[in-house]
Chain A
Amino acid sequence: MIIAEKKPIEEIIEEVRNFDRILILGCNECVTVCEAGGKKEVEVLASALRMYFITQGKEKIISEHTIERQCDHEYLEEIRKDIDNYDAIVSLACGVGVQFAAEKYLTMPLLPGVNTICLGANEDRGLWTERCQACGSCVLARTGGICPVSRCAKRVLNGPCGGSTNGKCELGPDIDCAWQLILDRLKALGRMDDYEKVAPIKDWSTDRAGGPRTVTREDVNI
């Protein structure tokens, strides 16, 4: 899922200072799971903003609404009937949701309430770690299910670099060397022969370097 982190309240206060009627818009998907922008976070942020502006002697309308997904037309349509009641929307969705809502409501200022971090997994309570960089041509079949693109700082594709020490990356003792993990897994799978095979040059045109990416599916397009 997409991992996001709450923006500091002080930053959001500065963003919304000049608006009088604000909608805090949450998203029920990824940001809910990573506890950054779901219904609960919407309530908390709205309450915090209301308290702040009351203590400043300013009466602002700060409303709350959480929709199923902010990256889909049909759910974003839900707020169309109420949109004129607001001067700005603080979206707690990931960058995709904020942009999609901004595209849909052209004259409405859309402000992000979270920082979108990465595509990751919920490794432990309160710990989310990156697992995928959406490079567009998956190599996981060859690397034992561990991604050298997202988990190796250098994105090397043919074994560890010289900075790998005792299974850790030279960036820091807390970061696992992706290739150490791959080697361990290939050993466990009895597939060490695969490790000897030299990987061909990866097609990076499917990565971000090729500009914004799109997926077009004629088979599902009605």
Chain B
Amino acid sequence: MRLKIPTNFRIVRLPCTGKIDIIHILRAFEKGADGLYVVGCMEGDCHFNQGNYRARKRVEQAAKILDQVGVGGERVKMYNLSSGEGPLFAQYSIEMVNKIKEMGPSPVRLAKQKMAKQKKVTAA
């Protein structure tokens, strides 16, 4: 298909979106990610029956926590598509990357960079 997708996101493959946990999402942000989206199968089509429903709930919980700590819950999102919908995957990735670009860098990343700079200055 050779579809064009942004290069500034990393794909982490999971056996099923039901494998994702809140801590995986939070850790990504803690390490400096600006945004995260989970792409699961269509609702009702999960091979393991409820994997994508579980993922959606966990994404919602992670979003709530990110809101509470001032990182912004809009930085995480859950998408659903079937494995045959390559163009839609590309569309979602462009949509998410544009949204995150609009929002700007994550406050965690900015604060970490600021701290690192301060440490360098102090060390010098």
Contacts and interface: CB of A to CB of B under 8 A. Distances in A.
B68 A57 contact: no
B46 interface: no
A131 interface: no
B108 A54 contact: yes
Interface in B68-91: 68-71
B20 interface: no
Interface of A: 8-10, 13, 40, 43-44, 47-52, 54-57, 59
29 contacts: A9-B65, A9-B68, A9-B69, A10-B68, A13-B69, A40-B22, A40-B23, A43-B23, A44-B23, A44-B26, A47-B26, A47-B30, A48-B26, A48-B68, A49-B69, A50-B30, A51-B29, A51-B66, A51-B108, A52-B68, A54-B108, A54-B111, A55-B69, A55-B71, A55-B107, A55-B111, A56-B111, A57-B111, A57-B115
Interface of B: 21-23, 26-27, 29-30, 65-66, 68-71, 107-108, 111-112, 114-115
Contact of A8 (B29, B30, B68, B114): B68
Contacts of B69: 9, 13, 48-49, 51-52, 55
Contacts of A49: 69
Contact of B108 (A43, A44, A55): A55
Nearest to A45: B65
A54 B112 contact: yes
Nearest to A49: B69
A59 B115 CA distance: 9
Contacts, number: 49
Contacts of A50: 30
A113 to B, nearest CB: 14
Contact of A48 (B65, B107, B114): B65
Q: Which of A10, A48, A49, A52 has the most chain B CB within a 10 Å cutoff?
A: A48
Contacts of B112: 54
Contacts of A48: 26, 65, 68-69
Nearest to A47: B26
Contacts of A40: 21-23
A57 B114 contact: yes
Contacts of A55: 69-71, 107-108, 111
A57 B119 CA distance: 12
Q: Which 3 A-B pairs have the closest CB atoms?
A: A52-B69, A47-B26, A55-B107
A10 B70 CA distance: 11
Contacts of B26: 44, 47-48, 51
B29 A54 contact: no
A51 B23 contact: no
Nearest to A10: B68
A80 B115 CA distance: 32
A9 B61 CA distance: 12
Contacts of A10: 68
A43 B70 CA distance: 18
Nearest to B23: A43
